[in-house]
Structure 1
Amino acid sequence: EWQTLDITFIAPSFDEAGNKVKNARLPKVLLNGELIHDNVELLTPTGNNFKLKEKSKAPIMIQVDHGPVAFKNIKVRELQK
């Protein structure tokens, strides 16, 4: 059975010197239509030993844990401010 996951993500903000001035946020995350995260601030990119530097725009990366995982019908759209 397939699950649906709807994520609204706001990237971190940086000043002109490259210093982070605002953490990334998840304003809303829905799992099968049910709200599971509401306005969550993300202090770091991931709990894993992540070596890449944070950016305000970068490729989407999907991290899984154990066992086989399949993804289908992934849609990405940039929201206007």
Structure 2
Amino acid sequence: MEPLPDLGSLSDDELKKEIDQLKEQEREISYQRRILHGKIDILRAELVARLQKTGGKGVLESVDVESLTAILSGKAAPKVADEEE
């Protein structure tokens, strides 16, 4: 992301042009965000379908769900290799 120009040196028309350019960038980013959220939803739906077919076996067998939940909720730090022994 580029830094803002010296705003005091810009004319009103230049400021309006900067605003228009930033609005266009925001529209493009928003579109990409919506596309990514759609892809995430599709992948999650696929994972749920697989979990329902297998009863959760296979996909989550090697995951320590409780530790992962604690880490993601900020209640525990991830284990360091030395601590695991």
More helix by share: 2
RCO higher in structure (CA 8 A, sep ≥6)? 1
**Bigger Rg over Cα:** 2
TM-score, with length taken from structure 1: 0.20
